[in-house]
């Protein structure tokens, strides 16, 4: 499978699929296909934990699976004003992310329950390409220190499993900033992906 993400703003995903290759993607995102494909709508749950993560993550309980019946191109876009970016997942480096940021993934990536903040975090394991949504500009940081960085919960998208995190709320956060809501404290070693705008704010534009 080859893919291209067009430039922002209004980016969309173009896939070049070989026969029988599959893409797992959010519902209602297809723009066009230049060939024939098989289509299934499946429930993405294998346990009650997955159900909880999907409900509290603000996601649908189902996804679409497209299977190419021939060599072909397909194009997909997010249903809202989000941009799209890709991450390569390898066995040794699972990535945790907010379920609401999921856009698409290749078939060898499994999604599991990852952690808890205001919204459930999920974990991408396996090997393949994960496509996530970003609002505003994407900021990628590599941290390698016990000195923490602090990221607003609405700005955080994803981080590698090796990064240690704590979710700070209420009075503890007010000691650090004058804001309200939640804040992530991140330290250790690994990559972190951050967005410059809150998704709800971005939808108002």
Domain of 7, CATH number, reads 3.60.160.10
Question: How confident is the model at residue 171, as a pLDDT?
Answer: 47
115 has pLDDT over 90: no
Point out the domain boundary residue: 134, 162, 193. 134
Q: Does residue 10 sit in the same domain as residue 110? A: yes
Q: Does residue 125 sit in the same domain as residue 71? A: yes
Q: pLDDT higher for 56 or 12?
A: 12
Task: Quote the domain boundaries for residue 169.
Answer: 138-202
**Residue appearing with tokens 């999920």:** 122
Q: Does residue 173 sit in the same domain as residue 80? A: no
Q: Does residue 28 sit in the same domain as residue 114? A: yes
Point out the domain boundary residue: 108, 134, 160. 134
Point out the domain boundary residue: 134, 163, 178. 134
Q: pLDDT category, 204, cuts 50, 70, 90? A: very low
Q: Does residue 142 sit in the same domain as residue 130? A: no
Q: pLDDT digits over 15-37, tens only?
A: 999 999 999 999 999 999 999 99
Q: Does residue 13 sit in the same domain as residue 70? A: yes
To the nearest whole percent, how much of the chain has pLDDT over 70? 78
Overall number of domains in the chain:
2
Strands (E), the chain: 2-5, 13-17, 22-25, 30-33, 37-43, 62-68, 72-76, 83-89, 95-98, 102-106, 109-116, 120-126, 128-134, 138-152, 156-160, 163-169, 182-195
Q: Does residue 28 sit in the same domain as residue 120? A: yes
88 has pLDDT over 90: yes
């Amino acid at each position: 499978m080859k893919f291209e993400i067009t430039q922002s703003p209004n980016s969309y995903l173009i896939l070049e699929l070989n026969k029988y290759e599959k893409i797992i993607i959010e519902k209602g995102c297809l723009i066009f296909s230049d060939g024939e494909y098989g289509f299934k709508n499946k429930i993405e749950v294998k346990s009650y934990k997955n159900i909880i993560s999907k409900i509290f993550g603000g996601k649908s309980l189902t996804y679409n699976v497209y299977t190419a019946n021939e060599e072909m191109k397909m194009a997909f876009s997010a249903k809202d004003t989000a941009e799209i970016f890709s991450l390569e997942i390898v066995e040794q480096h699972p990535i945790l992310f907010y379920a609401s940021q999921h856009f698409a993934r290749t078939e060898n990536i499994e999604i599991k329950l990852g952690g808890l903040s205001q919204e459930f975090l999920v974990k991408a394991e396996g090997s393949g390409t994960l496509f996530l949504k970003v609002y505003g500009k994407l900021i990628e940081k590599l941290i390698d220190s016990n000195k923490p960085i602090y990221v607003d919960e609405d700005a955080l998208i994803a981080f590698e499993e090796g990064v240690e995190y704590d979710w700070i709320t209420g009075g503890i956060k007010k000691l650090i900033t004058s804001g309200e809501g939640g804040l992530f404290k991140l330290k250790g070693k690994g990559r972190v992906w951050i967005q410059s705008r809150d998704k709800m704010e971005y939808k108002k534009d």
